[in-house]
Structure 1
Amino acid sequence: MTDLKLGPLPKVRYVRKTVLLPEPLAEELDEYAAEHSRLHEPVEAAVLIPHMLKDFLRTDRGWRAHRTKRGRTTPQRQDLPAGTSCQRDPEH
């Protein structure tokens, strides 16, 4: 494989969230991270998740239409569902 949807990763600040993944998805994500690391620079699978989610949200037509109706184009903190916790990751 020579082309992956994710290219080199940008440097950004992060917010820490905890997610649970089914084992088959976690294994596939690890395989993807290994291939991404081979093509670009070494990276852990968890680092790829925010970039994958960002790409998913940007390409979801229904979500884009919803945000356009609301007049919003960039995520805001108040978009988080009730009970969602966020912490700034001091390492980034």
Structure 2
Amino acid sequence: MTKLKLDPIKDDKPVKVTLELPAALHRDLVAYAEILGRGSGQAAPEPVRLIVPMLERFIATDRGFAKARRERSGNGCEG
């Protein structure tokens, strides 16, 4: 089985998703947003705005996923 890390595939139309986060993860997102704001000298972004870039970054750097996707597309499947 392929090892994967946990960025949606970009599409022309955004897909709205509703999810529940564990309280500890939400606190981490709030802290991350505050640190990001301080580092950039701007106001802290809303924590929810961090989720998509984090997922995009995660998938973009997951070598196992990239390999599996290449193998899949090499078999004539789209994706």
Deviations 1:6-34 (A, max 9, x none): xxxxxxx8532112111111101100011
Uncovered stretches (5+) of structure 1, i.e. residues with no partner: 1-12, 80-92
| Partner in structure 2 of residue 10 of structure 1 | none
Indicate yes or no: 2:73 matched with 1:64. Answer: no
Asked which structure has the greater CA Rg, the reply is: 2
| Partner in structure 2 of residue 46 of structure 1 | 48
Q: Matches of 1:14 and 1:35 in 2, distance apart?
A: 28
Q: Matches of 1:14 and 1:32 in 2, distance apart?
A: 24
2:18 alignment partner, SS class: coil
Uncovered stretches (5+) of structure 2, i.e. residues with no partner: 1-12
Q: Matches of 2:52 and 2:35 in 1, distance apart?
A: 17
Q: CA RMSD in A?
A: 2.3
TM-score of the pair, normalised by structure 2: 0.65
Higher helix share: 2
Deviations 1:41-78 (A, max 9, x none): 33101001100000110111111111111228xxx8xx
TM-score of the pair, normalised by structure 1: 0.57
Higher strand share: 1
